[in-house]
Structures are given as structure tokens and as C-alpha cells.
Amino acid sequence: MIKSPRGTRDLLPPDTALWNFVEATVRDVFRAYNFHEIRTPIFESTELFARGVGEETDIVSKEMFTWEDRGRAESDKGQSLTLRPENTAGIVRAYIEHKLWERGLNKFFSIGPMFRRERPQKGRYRQFYQIDAEVIGPAAAGSQSPARDAEILELLATLLDRVGITGWTLELNSVGCPEDRAKFNEALRLALAPVVGKMCADCQRRAVTNPLRVFDCKVPEDQPIIETLPTISQFLDESCRAHYEEVKNILNAVGVPYVENQRLVRGLDYYTRTAFEFTHGGLGAQNAILGGGRYDGLSEALGGPAAPGIGFAIGEDRLVLSLMETASAESVVRKPDVYIAPLGAGMNRHAARLARELRRHELAANVVIELGDEAFRLKKSFEAADKMGARYILIVGENEVAADAFALKHLASGEQVTVPRGELAQRILRT
């Protein structure tokens, strides 16, 4: 038997009802904040991620699915392509390619699959799903303002509350500008030199290539050493410090709670200034639901104009996993309003006609209808309607068709009435 590849899985009903609920809620919230959907390819040039995410990050150095294209066109041959491990770089690439700075401030969101060659574990897969949002544009359009950072964080607090995630924690930090980070990296190298030999192999490598990544380490034995290292707050210049303070001031004003975490640096090289994560206790050690931050130099790194930006990525798999603690998939499944039971030979076509009329009725835009089969006996139709949780069963037999009025039974109460065809929609929607 052929099974799904390691690190992937099928999303099946009724769980997909939770996924649809989350995505519908996300779209509603984004709409309220004037975000617009963007859809980018699921694979891009490998160079995009090497330049945008950073060659020394774990994502680029160890986790990407990359191949050499063997297309027939001469221009395709030899091109290195990669399944997208994240989507910010792709969105900024689209921003540059289509000269979207001409529109002023851009507020984008996307929902879709990402791919990383990681060790599968709870809430982490090789094909996983992310909800991304980005605010990007010329500084003159306000993209560099701390108000943009605070709005993003307030949006996320609203979104998590709206989908029903309780007990979340917003962790906040500033990672400064590139000059601040260069000074901080040098201080980290000096601090790590005498102790790095006691740390894990990944930290030993990171200490040479990119010391900031040491803070990504999750090895318990390394944490006491990490706690002794310098913090980025010691190296922030005045403008970065003022920007960070204003973000916190706005969050305080709108009532979004947060905790400062000076060890929070995020895992990608393009972050500047504000960095953040929302965590949830129900996910264990890997407890981040989402994270993001500001990336004021990413557009320039990809060959575009100056375009300050801030964004985030929600791990939809983990978000749904957290939601499952408080809401079962069945609780958001839309069960049938009516099960139509055709009784006897030749009744399927009459049942189908009635179903079409009800589905297209101006008052029944959201009505859910399930069709039975004329081969079923009445008892089997009742069992099928009850099993799928239908509210009503509508009987379509020869007598009902001749009278153009149908037996409608409310399965919970047992009440049964005969309803003329033209009044069925109103009757069904009334209760």
C-alpha cells in the first residue's frame, strides 16, 4: 500500500471543518484591517531564499527541498529551484517584480503550504501550512512607523481571540538595525569563545557562522550558558530604542498584553527592530503558534528599492492543534439542514428537483441539503439522516409529489407537518 510521504499527512473531514473555520475567520479579520490576498508560486529560485532568508540559517543550509530544473527551454536548464520554506521572501520578490511601491503602502496576506525537510514532530511537518501577512512600501507611505508594528500585533491578538485561542502570550523584543546586530554578533563571538566547546554541535557551528542563531537552540543543557550571554538591548542605538518604546506605548494604550524576551531573535536573517512570537502552552516545548517581525532591508537585499516592512507567519497546523484543545472539529461542522428521502421508483428525479429549488431559493443561501436514494427503505433513510445530524427529514413519495406538498419531520422533536412546496424554505429556515 502506498502511503503519504514522511512528514506529510492527509487532512480529512471532520478536521477540515476546523481548518475552514480558521481560514474563514482569518479572512474576515484581514478584511477588517484592509489586507488583500496575494498568491505566489510554491517554488521559487533558490537564490531568493539564499539572499532573502540567509545562507547560514538552518532553513537554507539544512531544510530546503531543492532541485535542478531540467526544463526543455534553454533558459530553464540548470536553474536551481526550491519549494518555498516561507513566504515573506516570495512576497517581497513579487513586490519588486511588479513595482508595487507605486501603490504606496501594501498590506498583503496569503494562506498556503510551505516545505521544510525537518524531523517531524507534534505540530511540525515537512509540508505544513502558513498564514502570512506583510505590510510593505516606501517609508514615505508610513511603512517604517512603529504604529504599523503595533497594528500588526493588535490584529494578531484580535485574530487569536476570534478563533477561540485563549491563554496566548505575546513575547516581544527589538533586534535593532544591522549596525546594532554587527556589534552584538561580535560581542557574542567573544562571549561564546571560552564556553562554546561545552555546547551542542549546532551551537558550535553557529558560533562561527552566525552567533545570533545560538539563541534558537532548544537543547536544555545549553540554556544555562545562553542565559549568561549578552543581550541585544545593550547594543540598540537611540532610534531603534525609541522605535521599540513607541511600539510598547501603543500596545499599552490599546490593551494588548505582552512580555519582553531579550533572547528572542527569530530564525531569519532579514529581521530588524521589532521581533515577536505568540506562544501557547498546549504545544509543549515547541510552543510558538506564530512569529514575525520587521525587515526594513529585505527589499534592498533582493535588488529592489528601499521598502521598510513588517510581517508574520502563523503556523496553521499548530493553530488548529491548539484550537482542538477547546473545540472539537464536530463543533464547527455544518450539518445538513434537510435530508431529502425519495421513497419508491422514479422518486430520485423529483427529490433532485426539490433539492435544486431549495438550494437556489433566495432565502436559503446557506442551507445544507443531503439527498437520499429511492432504493432506501424509509427506516434506512431515517437512520442515514440521524447519523449525519440532519435537522429535518423531507419525504418525497408518490402521494407528496401528486399533492405538491411534502412531509417534513423535525428529527429532534419528532414533530411532523405537511408543507406546500412553495413554503418549504421558509419553514426550514424558521427553526
SS (H, E, C) the chain: CCCCCCCCCCCCCCHHHHHHHHHHHHHHHHHHCCCEECCCCCEEEHHHHHHHHHCCCHHHHHHCCEEECCCCCCCCCCCEEEECCCCHHHHHHHHHHCCHHHHCCEEEEEEEEEECCCCCECCECCEEEEEEEEEECCHHHCCCCHHHHHHHHHHHHHHHHHHCCCCCEEEEEECCCHHHHHHHHHHHHHHHCCCHHHCCHHHHHHHHHCHHHHHHCCCHHHHHHHHCCCCHHHHCCHHHHHHHHHHHHHHHHHCCCCEECCCCCCCCCCCEEEEEEEECHHHCCCCEEEEEEECCCHHHHCCCCCCCEEEEEEEHHHHHHHHCCCCCHHHHCCCCCEEEEECCCCCHHHHHHHHHHHHCCCCCCCCCEEECCCCCCHHHHHHHHHHCCCCEEEEECHHHHHHCEEEEEECCCCCEEEEEHHHHHHHHHHC
**pLDDT in the model for residue 264:** 85
Tell me whether residue 328 is in a domain. no
Tell me whether residue 194 is in a domain. no
Q: 244 and 382, same structural domain? A: no
**pLDDT in the model for residue 29:** 95
Q: 55 and 27, same structural domain? A: yes
Q: 147 and 66, same structural domain? A: yes
Tell me whether residue 158 is in a domain. yes
The whole domain housing 425 covers: 334-430
Give the CATH number, domain containing residue 400. Answer: 3.40.50.800
**pLDDT in the model for residue 77:** 63
**pLDDT in the model for residue 33:** 95
Tell me whether residue 329 is in a domain. no
Q: 273 and 409, same structural domain? A: no
Tell me whether residue 227 is in a domain. no
Q: 258 and 353, same structural domain? A: no
**pLDDT in the model for residue 329:** 59
Q: 418 and 294, same structural domain? A: no
Q: Which residues share a beta bridge with 83?
A: 43
Q: 363 and 259, same structural domain? A: no
**pLDDT in the model for residue 75:** 61
**pLDDT in the model for residue 188:** 86
Task: Specify the number of domains making up the chain.
Answer: 2
Domain boundary among 282, 301, 323: 323
Give the CATH number, domain containing residue 67. Answer: 3.30.930.10
Q: 161 and 254, same structural domain? A: yes
Predicted structure pTM score: 0.82
**pLDDT in the model for residue 173:** 94
Domain boundary among 266, 300, 323: 323
**pLDDT in the model for residue 267:** 56
Tell me whether residue 229 is in a domain. no
Q: 388 and 258, same structural domain? A: no
CA dihedral 318, 309, 208, 65 (to 10 degrees): 50
Q: 87 and 35, same structural domain? A: yes
For residue 301, what is its C-alpha cell? 537585499
Q: 146 and 77, same structural domain? A: yes
Nearest alpha carbon to residue 300 among 173, 147, 136: 136
**pLDDT in the model for residue 73:** 63
Q: 390 and 318, same structural domain? A: no
Tens-digit pLDDT string for the chain (431 aa): 999 999 899 999 888 988 999 999 999 999 999 999 999 999 999 999 888 777 666 677 778 889 898 766 666 567 899 999 999 999 999 999 999 999 999 999 999 999 999 887 777 889 999 999 999 999 888 899 999 999 999 999 999 999 888 889 999 999 888 888 888 888 888 888 888 888 898 888 888 888 888 887 888 888 988 888 888 888 899 999 999 999 999 999 999 999 999 888 765 667 889 999 998 875 555 577 899 999 988 899 899 999 999 999 998 998 888 888 776 656 677 889 999 999 999 999 999 999 999 888 877 667 889 999 999 999 999 999 999 999 999 999 999 999 999 999 999 999 999 999 989 988 888 76
Angle subtended at Cα 398 by Cα 394 and Cα 403, rounded to the nearest 5 degrees = 80
Domain boundary among 266, 293, 323: 323
**pLDDT in the model for residue 79:** 86
Tell me whether residue 136 is in a domain. yes
Tell me whether residue 107 is in a domain. yes
